[in-house]
A = this chain, B = another copy of it.
Amino acid sequence: METIHAGLIGFGNIGSGTVKLLRENGGLIEKRLGARIVIKKIADLDLKTPRPVAVDRKMLTRDAKAIFNDPEISIVIELVGGYEPAKSFILEAIRQGKHVVTANKALLATYGDEIFKAAEERGVNIGFEASVGGTIPVIKTLRESLAANRVRSIFSILNGTTNYILTKMSDEGKNYKTVLREAQSLGFAEADPTFDVEGIDTAHKLGIVLSLSYGKRVNLADIYREGITGVSQQDIEFAKELGYKIKLLAIAIQRGDAIEARIHPTMIPFDHLLASVNSNYNALHIRGDASGPVFLYGQGSGMMPTASAVVADLIDIARDIQKGVSRRVPSRSLSEGGIEEIDLMPMDEIVTNYYFRFSALDRPGVLSKISGILGKHNISIASVIQKGRAPDKAGSVPVVMTTHESREKDMRAALKEIDRLAVLKGKTVRIRIEDDRLK
């Protein structure tokens, strides 16, 4: 039986899971593949911290060069994370004609052009199934299973930490800060949670998804991004009353030749599959023009779920090696020369439904003033909730409205005008409402 040798750089959580999985299910994988995948060397700067798997000390090295220079190693697994030295490691592996498997979404989203081009020129594969949606077969589904489709839209939950926080806020009635602290103590959120809660990690993943779905290169900074730090318990409760859950969605929509890409807290109807995605799970609701809606769901992170995707990539590449071929499928669905740079649709132009929560003084005529301004800006009201309740400390009561489809530009102009009204205290909260089943 043929043995295919891999070298692992980065012996952390996912790296340990990869070693563990190849060991525990090695026999099964051999039977399925007809070959043996062996991790021959592991490079990490920290060789002292105990790992969840025991490995022969002779496999370990502090020098990644030991992997690049080993002619027997045909696949390099990069699980260091971050930009450098991960990028240099990957480029060096490619230069040495080795295939690469990586889970590094930040790197691929930012330096993907350089890395994918180098791989194409050198004729090696880049496996990155683990970079988006953890264990969920996102890359394979978009690149292979839906290859006959024009992707009309993708509505997705791509970050487990924020989904965990929003789920806890919704289920337990706790506020953002309390849940964040709990998530941090459980290891579900980083000490500095910015990357997750501001939607930056989600943007990296959406960037990768966009390039696969549309063959387009996007500037990450052009993706509209709004995190979850402003989501309040009060809005979660009003959302429930209106039949919605609030989720941080990564949205891509094809609009003729343009593409809309945005990340923001979103109200979605209870009976939408995405509303049932709880805790730290990820999911994608993809609409192909032929396939119709396809929904994929699973663990977006975690040692073994992510290792499952890493080893799937190893097996995929091993099948190519066995057949003496490579790059059977282009890294990003098209040959790199075919991937065009595009401008995303300006946020002002998008059309959606809105939820507004006004903090109004409890005086006659407030509703008429607000609705008058909305009407002037072509925003038509779908529902209103105003309850007789005691004013808060600032003397205001919440007035909630949802709108029919309106243009973002009009919404901004209207809120600017409304927020100047003397009867309003504090800035109006607005959350977009979406239901891609209707589009």
A positions within 8 Å CB-CB of B: 17, 21-22, 25, 28-29, 31-34, 129, 135-137, 140-141, 144-150, 215, 271, 273, 276, 283, 288-299, 302, 304-305, 307-309, 311-312, 315-316, 319-320, 322-325, 328-330, 333-335, 338
Contact = CB atoms under 8 A, between A and B. Distances in A.
A295 B281 CA distance: 11
A21 B150 CA distance: 11
Given A135-B288, A147-B312, 16 more contacts: A25-B148, A28-B150, A32-B334, A135-B290, A140-B140, A283-B295, A290-B307, A292-B298, A292-B299, A294-B297, A295-B295, A295-B297, A297-B297, A320-B328, A323-B323, A323-B328
Contacts of A215: 31-32
Contacts of A338: 31
A145 B297 CA distance: 13
A112 to B, nearest CB: 18
27 contacts: A17-B290, A21-B290, A22-B148, A31-B215, A32-B147, A32-B215, A136-B294, A137-B140, A137-B141, A137-B145, A137-B146, A140-B140, A146-B312, A147-B311, A271-B276, A276-B276, A290-B304, A290-B305, A291-B298, A291-B304, A291-B309, A292-B305, A293-B299, A320-B328, A322-B328, A323-B323, A325-B325
Contacts of A31: 215, 334, 338
**Listed residue (A150, A322, A325) with the most chain B CB atoms within 10 angstroms of its CB:** A325
A76 B110 CA distance: 43
A410 B109 CA distance: 57
Nearest to A28: B150
B150 A129 contact: no
A192 to B, nearest CB: 27
10 smallest CB-CB distances across A and B, nearest first, come from A137-B145, A148-B311, A295-B297, A290-B308, A291-B308, A135-B291, A294-B298, A323-B325, A290-B304, A147-B315
A435 B299 CA distance: 18
A188 to B, nearest CB: 15
Given A271-B276, A291-B299, A295-B298, A316 B144 contact: yes
Nearest to A304: B290
Contact of A329 (B28, B276, B298, B319): B319
A318 B230 CA distance: 49
Contacts of A147: 29, 32-33, 311-312, 315
A144 B140 contact: yes
Contact of A25 (B289, B302, B319): B289
Nearest to A145: B137
Contact of A149 (B22, B25, B276, B328): B25
A29 B292 CA distance: 17
Contacts of A333: 32
Contacts of A288: 135, 308
Contacts of A315: 144, 147-148
Contacts of A316: 144
A146 B308 contact: yes
Contacts of A145: 129, 137, 140, 309, 312
Contacts of A311: 147-148, 290
B296 A302 contact: no
Contact of A273 (B146, B276, B312, B325): B276
A432 B325 CA distance: 49
**Listed residue (A147, A273, A304, A305) with the most chain B CB atoms within 10 angstroms of its CB:** A147
A335 B34 contact: yes
Nearest to A299: B292
A328 B328 CA distance: 10
A239 B194 CA distance: 44
A64 B344 CA distance: 49
A320 B145 CA distance: 15
Nearest to A134: B291
**Listed residue (A144, A309, A320, A334) with the most chain B CB atoms within 10 angstroms of its CB:** A144
Contacts of A34: 330, 335
Given A137-B137, A292-B302, A328-B319, A312 B144 contact: yes
